[in-house]
């Protein structure tokens, strides 16, 4: 499953340029999750490339209208605590 957390302005240069950002990621670990995420962003037309590819932290930063586009394409919204649970599960599944 592909999930997305609420947009946040972290105060980083990225946010100053693009605005609040969300993390879009698969709940599946490893290559299976990377494949699911790549297929999702291609189907939804979401631009960019993944951050931390091949790791338990692999995700896309999503800004502006792309948040709603990702949700409309089927990404399940979750809160920050939910995102942390996904990250912990992915890290454990990948032996990190």
Residue-level pLDDT at 4: 98
pLDDT along the chain (96 residues), means of 10: 94 86 96 97 95 95 94 96 96 90
For residue 34, the tally of other CB atoms under 10 A from its CB is 18
Residue-level pLDDT at 3: 98
Residue-level pLDDT at 53: 95
Residue-level pLDDT at 25: 98
Task: Taking the CA atoms of 31, 37, 60 and 8 in sequence, report the sign of the dihedral they define.
Answer: negative
Q: How far is CA 63 from the centre of its chain?
A: 11
Name the token pair of 95: 């032996």
Residue-level pLDDT at 39: 98
């Amino acid at each position: 499953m592909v999930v997305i957390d609420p947009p946040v302005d972290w105060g980083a240069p990225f946010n100053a340029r693009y605005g609040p950002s969300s993390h879009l990621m698969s709940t599946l670990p490893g290559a299976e999750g990377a494949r699911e995420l790549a297929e999702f962003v291609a189907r939804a037309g979401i631009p960019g490339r993944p951050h931390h590819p091949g790791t338990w932290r692999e995700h896309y930063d999503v800004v502006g209208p792309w948040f709603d586009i990702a949700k409309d394409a089927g990404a399940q919204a979750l809160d920050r605590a939910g995102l942390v649970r996904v990250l912990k599960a992915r890290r454990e599944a990948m032996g990190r």
